[in-house]
């Protein structure tokens, strides 16, 4: 009797297993991708210095002074392609972007492995250094303001620009800034606290003023006087910002006058102006293959979108520049990819590994095991699409010539506390003018994963440094 009784739960369990194994797999979640062409060279830039100078100014001290946190301002962002020749073809622009991207990633990996050391400032990586500053704005420097193009970069800390007299300056779109013509320019004493925040400060023994040097992984460098100056953003004037005035700038620099560092380090623009703008900024990067309107950046409380989903920032004690987050997994077609676990993205106690959000990297890099799992899952989900040959760093491409739209499996990034569902155009992108589209992720042998700006397009990406968090608001460019 006992034997028969014990058989009942066993038979029930077997029956349940047979039922569950016969259940159909959940339907693949998909979305429509409207097929757009490679972006053409942008039209001439619409900025007018006369318009900028006609705006009434609001003025206040910079980040070192007590200041109410009710200030806000916004600026237009333009892609670096707008500084290219009008004769450049869409294919040439895209190929150049991939070359910049490879150089950028290589240098980020170099620094994340080595950390800052002798001869490096805390701003060791710059998009501009590798010619990979993807987005720039126009701002005024000095009093009266002289308007120049500056690259904005979340992977760099120091604010710097080329200054006359030049020992060596590269070609830029505007006249080189001359601090002798600015009434607000001031050198920084060698013993000032802000000078000591440089990892490797120097001192002009004759003037007793601070010197800076920023060296980059590709051998480029900028060096000169570390000073304070007034920066003007449309109608907002920000005084006494620590700025590197570079008299010797050598290497792979292009186009813009300098760089506005937006990293987490002590000398970045958000850190210096923290009190004034409440340590908040955000940007929304427009998909240039679908829209001609400019991208934008907002500083202050209005930078925070009400629809943003936030994930905590985590700190790398060995390297304070980058914005590290926790990526727990990725879904394709509505199902978590089994081979992608949080352990693949963990920032270890030595400061290696981890995941950063970066505005200057284009294509998201995932540590190789995670990428292979993601790629294989996407290939299965997109099995109805005609495959094409590999292209550059992309190994999953499709021939979509003759089509206007296709169905593709959904892709969701699962950050701690925030699930970010990507638009289809953020992961299947045109790579030529013949209808070839590729899966816009790549693998890396480095332990560091990087969420790039293609995947960030269309989201308002919110950096709330006071709250130590990053948020993503879909459809945030409106």
Alpha carbon distances (Å) from 465 to 263, 282, 413: 10, 11, 22
- Grouping H, G, I as helix, E, B as strand and the rest as coil, residue 234 is coil
Using an 8 Å Cβ cutoff, are 101 and 314 in contact? no
Q: With 90 as the cut, is the pLDDT of residue 377 above it? A: yes
* Better pLDDT: 38 or 394: 394
Report the DSSP beta bridge partners of residue 213: 223
pLDDT at 316: 93
Q: Cβ atoms within 10 A of the Cβ of 236, count?
A: 22
Is 287's pLDDT higher than 60? yes
Average pLDDT over residues 193-219: 88
pLDDT score, position 291: 72
Across-strand partners of 398?
387, 437
Highest mean pLDDT of the ranges 21-35, 63-77, 376-390 = 376-390
Question: What distance in Å separates the CA atoms of residue 417 and residue 396, rounded to the nearest whole number?
Answer: 30
- Give 138-150 pLDDT, tens digit per residue: 999 999 999 999 9
Evaluate if pTM is beyond 0.75: yes
Residue that wins the pLDDT comparison between 11 and 247: 247
Residue 181 has pLDDT above 70, yes or no: yes
- Report whether pLDDT(286) > 50: yes
Catalytic machinery residues: 153, 358
More confident residue, 475 or 68: 475
Could you tell me which of 157, 116, 38, 145 has the C-alpha nearest to residue 435? 38
What pLDDT band is residue 11 in, cutting at 50, 70 and 90? very low
Query: What is the per-residue DSSP string for 365-382?
Result: EEEHHHHHHHHHHHHHHT
Angle formed at CA 472 by CA 468 and CA 474, multiple of 5 degrees: 165
Rounded percentage of the chain residues whose pLDDT exceeds 90: 59
Residue 411: half-sphere exposure toward Cβ, Cα within 13 Å: 26
Taking CA atoms, 110 is separated from 60, 107, 114, 320, 448, in Å, by 39, 5, 6, 15, 10
Condensed to tens digits (0 to 9), the pLDDT of residues 76-122 reads: 888 877 777 667 888 998 998 898 888 888 878 877 876 654 332 33
DSSP state string for 62-76: -TTS---S---EEEE
Greatest Cα pair distance in the chain: 102
Task: Grade residue 220 by pLDDT with cuts at 50, 70 and 90.
Answer: confident
Q: What is the pLDDT of residue 56?
A: 47
Residues 253-258, mean pLDDT to the nearest whole number = 80
The pLDDT assigned to 256 comes to 85
Lowest mean pLDDT among 53-67, 221-235, 390-404, 458-472: 53-67
Q: Is 42 a residue whose pLDDT tops 90?
A: no
**Per-residue pLDDT reduced to its tens digit, 292-322:** 777 889 999 999 999 999 999 999 988 889 9
Q: What is the pLDDT of residue 46?
A: 56
Amino acid 159: pLDDT: 93
Q: Which of 449, 410, 399, 436 has its CA nearest to residue 94?
A: 436
Average pLDDT score, the chain: 85
pLDDT digits (tens, 9 = 90+) for 148-175: 999 888 988 889 999 999 999 988 889 9
Q: Are 159 and 319 in contact (CB under 8 A)?
A: no
- pLDDT recorded at residue 298: 92
Between 303 and 200, residue with greater pLDDT: 303
Could you tell me the sign of the dihedral formed by the alpha carbons of 10, 13, 19, 20, in that order?
negative
* pLDDT (0 to 100) of residue 115: 60
In this predicted structure, which of 10-14, 25-29, 99-103, 181-185 has the lowest mean pLDDT?
10-14
Instruction: Look at residue 453 and give its three-state secondary structure.
Output: helix
Helices (H) and strands (E) in the chain, counts: 8, 31
């Amino acid at each position: 009797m006992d034997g028969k009784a014990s058989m009942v739960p066993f038979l029930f369990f077997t029956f349940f297993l047979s039922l569950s194994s016969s259940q159909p797999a959940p339907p693949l979640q998909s979305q429509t991708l409207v097929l757009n062409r490679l972006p053409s060279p942008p039209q001439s830039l619409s900025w007018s210095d006369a318009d900028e100078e006609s705006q009434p100014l609001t003025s206040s001290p910079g980040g070192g002074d007590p200041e109410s946190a009710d200030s806000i301002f916004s600026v237009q962002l333009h892609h670096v392609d707008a500084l290219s020749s009008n004769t450049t073809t869409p294919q040439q622009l895209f190929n150049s972007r991939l070359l910049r991207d490879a150089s950028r990633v290589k240098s980020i990996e170099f620094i994340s492995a080595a950390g800052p050391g002798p001869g490096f400032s805390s701003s060791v990586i710059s998009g501009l250094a590798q010619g990979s500053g993807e987005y720039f704005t126009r701002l005024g420097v000095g009093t009266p303001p002289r308007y120049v193009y500056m690259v904005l970069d979340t992977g760099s800390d120091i604010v710097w620009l080329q200054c006359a007299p030049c020992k060596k300056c590269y070609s830029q779109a505007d006249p080189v800034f001359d601090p002798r013509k600015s009434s607000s320019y001031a050198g920084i004493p060698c013993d000032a606290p802000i000078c000591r925040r440089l990892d490797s400060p120097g001192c002009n023994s004759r003037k007793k003023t601070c010197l800076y040097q920023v060296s980059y992984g590709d051998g480029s460098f900028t060096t000169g006087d570390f000073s304070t100056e007034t920066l003007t953003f449309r109608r907002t004037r920000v005084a006494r910002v620590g700025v590197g005035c570079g008299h010797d700038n050598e290497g792979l620099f292009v186009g813009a006058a300098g760089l506005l560092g937006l990293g987490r380090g002590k000398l970045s623009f958000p850190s210096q102006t923290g009190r004034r703008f409440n340590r908040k900024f955000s940007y929304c990067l427009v998909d240039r293959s679908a829209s001609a309107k400019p991208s934008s950046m907002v500083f202050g409380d209005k930078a925070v979108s009400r629809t943003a989903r936030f994930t905590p920032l985590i700190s790398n004690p060995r390297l304070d520049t980058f914005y590290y987050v926790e990526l727990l997994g990725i879904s394709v077609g509505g199902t978590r990819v089994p081979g992608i676990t949080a352990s693949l993205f963990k920032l270890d106690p030595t400061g290696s590994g981890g995941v950063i959000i970066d505005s200057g990297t284009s294509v998201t890099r995932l540590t190789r095991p995670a990428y292979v799992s993601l790629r294989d899952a996407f290939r299965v989900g997109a099995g109805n699409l005609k495959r094409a040959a590999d292209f550059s760093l992309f190994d999953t491409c499709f021939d979509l010539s003759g089509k206007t739209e296709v169905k593709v499996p959904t892709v969701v990034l699962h950050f701690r506390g925030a699930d970010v569902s990507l638009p289809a155009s953020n992961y299947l992108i045109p790579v030529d003018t013949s209808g070839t589209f590729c899966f816009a992720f790549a693998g890396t042998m480095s332990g560091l994963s990087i969420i790039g700006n293609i995947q960030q397009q269309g989201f308002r990406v919110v950096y709330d440094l006071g709250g130590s968090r990053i948020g993503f608001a879909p459809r945030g460019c409106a």
